[in-house]
Structure 1
Amino acid sequence: MKAFAQKPGLGALLLCLGMATAQAAPDMVVVGYGGAGQKAQDVAVFQPFSAQDNSKLIQSEYNGEMARIKVMVDTGHVDWDVVQIEGPDLMRGCDEGMYEQLDWAKLGHADQLIPEAAQACGSAALVWSVAIAYDRNKLAKAPTSWADFWDVKTYPGKRGLRKRAVYNLEFALMADGVKVEDVYKVLATPQGVDRAFAKLSELKPYIQWWEAGAQPAQWLTAGDVVMTSTYSGRIAAAAQAGAPLAVVWPGSLYGMDYWAIIKGSKHVAQAKRLIAYANQPEVQVRYVQQIPYGPTNTQAAAALDPGLAQWVPTSRQNLQGALSMDVAFWVDHGYELEERFNAWASK
């Protein structure tokens, strides 16, 4: 999980061009976000697929740099094949011709998938959720909302937030009293954007910015922050391993990551077989057993053990008071809001 497209600077483009001159790898390269999530994919998806398909794949990881993918496509030097990306990046990149089109009649399982999972250029890999997390042993009173997250008098100390506009603008509005169902209505107005940035400014002296998905759980365990936004699956994995960490589900924001095949890949047929394999219900159950992100196959969701389902973002109880990401909003406004955020954060 993740990042939205950013306009590449000259230095980034030169770096990307240098890296993209390498010949396409002899084996398919699959790129994810690393950490516990990719380890789970390796066990549940990549290794079993390679054994069944009698093929090899190479894994790599990134933080969602769309600039590098764009340079690959533009120059024709494509050294990645399958990438894990968020919805807005998929939608924007598909429109720009950066990804291969998928034929769902041939891939199969589309009728088993949740709404919006089967896209023209992508197949949903998982349902993620970004929520508040905290250490139960370090807070006498559990936080219950983003208003609590902003309450530095009751809960003194640092807060962890991802260093992006996305998520944070939604959370700031909820902290300022906007109802979940009205968040994107408010954010779609200039006054709403100003309101979100003003609320973020209140908390700015207390913010510790994270960029990698593994950092929030590490910071909570080390006591570097008292609360943090986080991908719920990371906290679930830590809690299942014995860490006293908890998630606040009301006010969480959820969406999907997708598998996409980069245009110009030399391993398109193998990549499509991987995507079809990953959509099978038994494969998704195996993945959720490794890390509790939401499955995209409805048959997999129905087969989950209740003890595991409590950590899954799409479980009925966890969807109460949760906000579904408006992908179209971020496709339309992502560039301008991220630019404004970067300018604000640098001050």
Structure 2
Amino acid sequence: MKLTKIFMASTALAFAAGAVAAEEMTIVSWGGAYSKSQMKAYHEPYSAKTGVNIINDDSSAEAVSKLRAMNEAGNVTWDVVDVVASDAIRLCDEGLAEEIDFNTQLAPAPDGTSAEDDFGALLVSDCFIPQIVYSTTFGYRTDLVGDTPPTEICDVFDLEAYPGKRSLEKRPIGNMEWALLCDGVAKDEIYEVLETSEGQDRALAKLDTIKDSVIWWSAGADTPQLLADGEVIMGSTFNGRLFSVIEEQNQPVAMLWDAQMFDLDGWIIPAGLSEERKARALDYIYFATDTQRLADQAKFISYGPARASSAPLVSTHAELGIEMAPHMPTDPANAQNTFLYNYEFWADYRDDIDAKFQAWLAK
């Protein structure tokens, strides 16, 4: 606690020295329902407390390439960036993200438990502060799938039982794993197979069987809109996006939780900021990742908070009044057959498999 007080005092001094720079900050995220949940739980309370104006930038899907370019140009314009864990690992390894001292630069739990112990195994990189546990999974139109709705991930590949368009993300992550799973590879052997050229070709060959029936998406809002418009009968996206289209928009859409891919999302602070901007970013991070703030985000979107101490504080949706726990990917009823995303694998192989996947798409 003493170290935490020292850090907060030093942060306050840094802010006093850089008062002009502290008036505004750019926070990068994913847009849509997710950014809305961050605005309500983090940005608006922080701005009310500090007077800092937060500019939202929805460029997280391009965070790695853009931060590489900013660093090379010596002009980093972002202050805090929301990224998935594998991208955080890559950015940290490349020296493009600041390392964090979790126990002095993050708030302890209300009972005094250190941040490091509270986040536990979710601290997968020295530069990454986890925010939420989410999953990429499938939604389907209940009125377009016939009398027998899909129940298994491999139904996505069954064009005979479920004819019609699907939507898949325009990147290899998730698609390659699901393809191998539905081509008969055991779950615990997926990444061993996928690290070989032959395994990658096998995954792409399986995806070839539905390629002509796929609409490829880049933004998380795409699949919910395609489902709402009836342009696809099923599609992948983040579970919080599907929660929004089902519960908030009352569309005829249901969730397919089978083989949902668990992942982490959270914050990094870019390397190369001035001391004043870095101090402000750290102050925001300290505020936005405390126990109550992470629980507050779950009032607006169905993602599980990354802190153990936040979970008991998750209650009802702020506007709908429904209990949020049953809508979380971590709920026992939803997590009967999950797929654990391998952060280290994708940090190591992402660039190479990306290039191969994009070349396959172009054929």
Taking the aligned partners of 1:274 and 1:52, their CA distance within structure 2 comes to 11
Secondary structure of 2:356 counterpart: helix
Higher mean C-alpha deviation, range 156-165 or range 250-259: 250-259
Is 1:323 aligned with 2:339? Answer: yes
Cross-structure match for 1:13: none
Taking the aligned partners of 1:210 and 1:226, their CA distance within structure 2 comes to 14
**Contact (CA 8 Å) 1:180, 1:321: kept in 2 or not?**
no
Secondary structure of 1:317 counterpart: coil
**Contact (CA 8 Å) 2:228, 2:245: kept in 1 or not?**
no
Taking the aligned partners of 1:114 and 1:252, their CA distance within structure 2 comes to 22
Query: Which of 207, 221, 227 pairs up with 2:234?
Result: 227
Cross-structure match for 2:351: 335
Taking the aligned partners of 2:355 and 2:125, their CA distance within structure 1 comes to 28
Q: Where does structure 1 lack aligned partners over 5 or more consecutive residues?
A: 1-23
Taking the aligned partners of 2:82 and 2:182, their CA distance within structure 1 comes to 30
Cross-structure match for 2:8: none
> How many angstroms does 1:339 deviate by?
0.5
**Are residues 196 and 25 of structure 1, via their aligned partners in 2, closer, same or farther at CA, if it must alter by over 3 Å?**
farther
Taking the aligned partners of 1:332 and 1:205, their CA distance within structure 2 comes to 30
> How many angstroms does 1:338 deviate by?
0.6
Cross-structure match for 1:125: 131
Taking the aligned partners of 2:22 and 2:57, their CA distance within structure 1 comes to 12
> How many angstroms does 1:157 deviate by?
0.4
Q: What is the percentage of aligned positions where both structures have the same residue? A: 34
Higher mean C-alpha deviation, range 115-124 or range 203-212: 115-124
Taking the aligned partners of 1:252 and 1:344, their CA distance within structure 2 comes to 24
**Contact (CA 8 Å) 1:249, 1:319: kept in 2 or not?**
yes
Taking the aligned partners of 2:313 and 2:24, their CA distance within structure 1 comes to 34
Secondary structure of 1:52 counterpart: helix
Q: Where does structure 2 lack aligned partners over 5 or more consecutive residues?
A: 1-20, 108-114, 317-322
Secondary structure of 1:85 counterpart: strand
Taking the aligned partners of 1:220 and 1:53, their CA distance within structure 2 comes to 40
- TM-score, length basis structure 2: 0.85
Is 1:29 aligned with 2:26? Answer: yes
Taking the aligned partners of 2:74 and 2:195, their CA distance within structure 1 comes to 37
Deviations 1:282-315 (A, max 9, x none): 2122111101112101122233348311211222
Query: Which of 294, 299, 303 pairs up with 1:284?
Result: 294
> How many angstroms does 1:115 deviate by?
1.4
**Contact (CA 8 Å) 1:135, 1:220: kept in 2 or not?**
yes
Cross-structure match for 1:57: 54
Query: Which of 79, 82, 91 pairs up with 2:80?
Result: 82
Secondary structure of 1:252 counterpart: strand
Residues 296-311 of structure 1 mapped to structure 2, 5 A cutoff: 296-305=306-315, 307-311=323-327
Is 1:73 aligned with 2:80? Answer: no
Taking the aligned partners of 1:27 and 1:252, their CA distance within structure 2 comes to 38
> How many angstroms does 1:190 deviate by?
3.0
> How many angstroms does 1:56 deviate by?
2.7
> How many angstroms does 1:74 deviate by?
2.1
Write the letter of the residue equivalent to 1:102.
I
Query: Which of 23, 36, 41 pairs up with 2:38?
Result: 41
> How many angstroms does 1:220 deviate by?
0.6
Taking the aligned partners of 2:137 and 2:195, their CA distance within structure 1 comes to 22
Write the letter of the residue equivalent to 2:300.
Q
Write the letter of the residue equivalent to 1:45.
Y
Higher mean C-alpha deviation, range 217-226 or range 97-106: 97-106
Secondary structure of 1:126 counterpart: strand
Taking the aligned partners of 2:55 and 2:116, their CA distance within structure 1 comes to 27
Secondary structure of 2:133 counterpart: strand
Residues 230-241 of structure 1 mapped to structure 2, 5 A cutoff: 230-241=237-248
Deviations 1:7-31 (A, max 9, x none): xxxxxxxxxxxxxxxxx89611101
**Contact (CA 8 Å) 2:42, 2:288: kept in 1 or not?**
yes
> How many angstroms does 1:265 deviate by?
2.0
**Contact (CA 8 Å) 2:153, 2:256: kept in 1 or not?**
no
Taking the aligned partners of 2:292 and 2:102, their CA distance within structure 1 comes to 19
Cross-structure match for 2:272: 264
- TM-score, length basis structure 1: 0.89
Secondary structure of 1:223 counterpart: coil
**Contact (CA 8 Å) 1:180, 1:322: kept in 2 or not?**
no
Taking the aligned partners of 2:264 and 2:252, their CA distance within structure 1 comes to 27
**Contact (CA 8 Å) 2:169, 2:216: kept in 1 or not?**
yes
Secondary structure of 1:272 counterpart: helix
Alignment root-mean-square deviation, CA: 1.8
Aligned length: 324
Taking the aligned partners of 1:180 and 1:308, their CA distance within structure 2 comes to 29
Cross-structure match for 1:94: 92
Deviations 1:221-262 (A, max 9, x none): 111001101111100122121223221112111111120111
Query: Which of 235, 254, 257 pairs up with 1:246?
Result: 254
> How many angstroms does 1:63 deviate by?
4.5
Write the letter of the residue equivalent to 2:332.
R
Taking the aligned partners of 1:26 and 1:97, their CA distance within structure 2 comes to 27
Cross-structure match for 1:217: 224
**Are residues 308 and 27 of structure 1, via their aligned partners in 2, closer, same or farther at CA, if it must alter by over 3 Å?**
same
